[in-house]
Structure 1
Amino acid sequence: MPSTIYAVVIADVRASSARKDVRAMLGKKLAAASEKHLREKRILLPYSVTAGDEFQTLTAELPSLPALLLDLRAGHQPLSLHVGIGIGAVSDRIQPPVNHLTGEAFQLARTALENVKSKGLHKFEVLTAFGSRNEPFNQTINLLYGLHDTLVSQITAKQWEAIGRFLDQPALEPAAKRLKVDVSTVSRNLKRGYYWQLAETVRVAGAFIERTFG
């Protein structure tokens, strides 16, 4: 992957005004996500709150973006996120805090997030949008994630809990033990929570990103 191409992820919490504890909850979840995703080398810099309930990060591992996004959504439950991703150049030296950096990738991510919030991409609601200089890529990945988000918006709290545990350790028995339920319940929640469709999106989208920018 060319080192000059980065992905900026900018996200905010949907309907944050309806929750009194959103700032405290977001802070705890971002600290945990930063520790985990830095350790796994999925991000280059810790997540940084830019304003209110909005935060961002930077990664150079573009093919791992779909897996990062799924883990981010699962890890932030019960908070639901709007997410914009910009793929392009960064103008500054890569160093924290991420919200002090500038460049094409940041501009594209901001536009993508605005498209999500303004419903500017499709006639149906989406939670995720990508932006790059490659318009055929943008059209395909945004359609894929538009359909993906239609499923995501239907996942219940219990199903997200099962998905989160399974992402941490992808085996039914350990997930069932941690959730204190039987294996059949975990299996059912994964299926009804569209986990296998989400996992296939991660696989296919990751390969598509790698073919496009690799």
Structure 2
Amino acid sequence: MTPLVLIGDLVASRRSSLRQQLQEQLKQALDDLNQDRTGLTSPYTITLGDEFQVVYEQADRVFADCLAIAAAVYPVRMRFSLSLGEISTELNPDQALGMDGPAFYQARDGIDQLKRSGELFRLAGLNDAEQPLATGGLGLFSHQLNKWNANRLHILNRLLQDWRVERIAEELNISEQAVYKNINSGGLHAVIRLLTALTQTLNESMRGRAC
């Protein structure tokens, strides 16, 4: 099984007057996600005040989790750099620290590339046939994501978890019509097809390669 590394980074948080509050919101979001360790090799771990790492053993929750984090720190944006690859040190099941290897190098390089491009998602480590489609799809998704509000992020997160519209509306205290408007305006069904296909591709790649 090949592990999947994610490094997440708050965009331009050092210039925010609410930096400490943002860091607390990020920590709370990660703590909430760590309540369920399904699919995690190493849990969500703050590495710097504005940054976190996590290692997955399967990709099923990756994109839903990213959207939950993005919604938690809105209107500040998050960058997410995913990397499928080798971890050359012993895996740490207690926290995503003290590990090293190509997967972490690629994820770190991805964060640097996202800072230059202004995009919010990057994925590295797929084979030559799959990588261009993943890069293009996530580039389009990043473009859309930059224009979304917290409700739309949350709605997509819940749809990826198979929630019904009625339940989403109740949780957000908005009308079902407003949920459907977000789904239609954001093209969320198309986004779900993209993210589902990427999740399947990641899972197949993780199972198909030895670490």
Structure 2 length-normalised TM: 0.83
Residues 66 and 18 (structure 1), Cα distance of their counterparts in 2 relative to 1, 3 Å cut: same
Q: Name the CA distance, whole Å, in 1 between partners of 2:29 and 2:69.
A: 10
Could you tell me which of 36, 41, 44 is aligned with 1:39?
A: 36
Q: Determine whether 1:143 maps to 2:136.
A: yes
Q: 1:14 — aligned with what? A: 11
CA displacement, residues 10-32 of structure 1 (integer Å, 9 cap, x when unaligned): 11111213422233333333333
Q: Name the CA distance, whole Å, in 2 between partners of 1:204 and 1:169.
A: 16
Q: Name the CA distance, whole Å, in 2 between partners of 1:151 and 1:11.
A: 18
CA displacement, residues 49-84 of structure 1 (integer Å, 9 cap, x when unaligned): 222412111111135434443343334433311111
Using the TM superposition, name which of 24-33 and 6-15 deviates more: 24-33
| Superposition deviation, residue 127 in structure 1 | 1.1
Higher normalized contact order (CA 8 Å, seq sep 6+, divided by chain length):
2
| Superposition deviation, residue 37 in structure 1 | 4.5
Q: Which stretches in structure 2 are left out of the alignment for 5+ residues?
A: none
Contact persistence 1:77–1:160 (CA under 8 A): no
Could you tell me which of 199, 203, 206 is aligned with 1:206?
A: 199
Contact persistence 2:64–2:157 (CA under 8 A): no
Residues 180 and 39 (structure 1), Cα distance of their counterparts in 2 relative to 1, 3 Å cut: same
Q: Determine whether 1:23 maps to 2:20.
A: yes
Using the TM superposition, name which of 158-167 and 134-143 deviates more: 158-167
Could you tell me which of 120, 124, 129 is aligned with 2:122?
A: 129
Q: 1:102 — aligned with what? A: 100
Q: Name the CA distance, whole Å, in 2 between partners of 1:17 and 1:93.
A: 33
Could you tell me which of 175, 179, 183 is aligned with 2:168?
A: 175
Could you tell me which of 109, 117, 124 is aligned with 1:111?
A: 109
Q: Which stretches in structure 1 are left out of the alignment for 5+ residues?
A: 120-124
RMSD between aligned alpha carbons?
A: 2.5
Q: 2:89 — aligned with what? A: 92
| Superposition deviation, residue 176 in structure 1 | 1.7
| Superposition deviation, residue 161 in structure 1 | 4.4
| Superposition deviation, residue 106 in structure 1 | 0.6
Contact persistence 1:9–1:85 (CA under 8 A): yes
Q: Name the CA distance, whole Å, in 1 between partners of 2:74 and 2:143.
A: 17
Q: 2:150 — aligned with what? A: 157
Residues 139 and 150 (structure 1), Cα distance of their counterparts in 2 relative to 1, 3 Å cut: same
Secondary structure of the residue that 1:83 maps to in structure 2? Answer: strand
Structure 1 length-normalised TM: 0.82
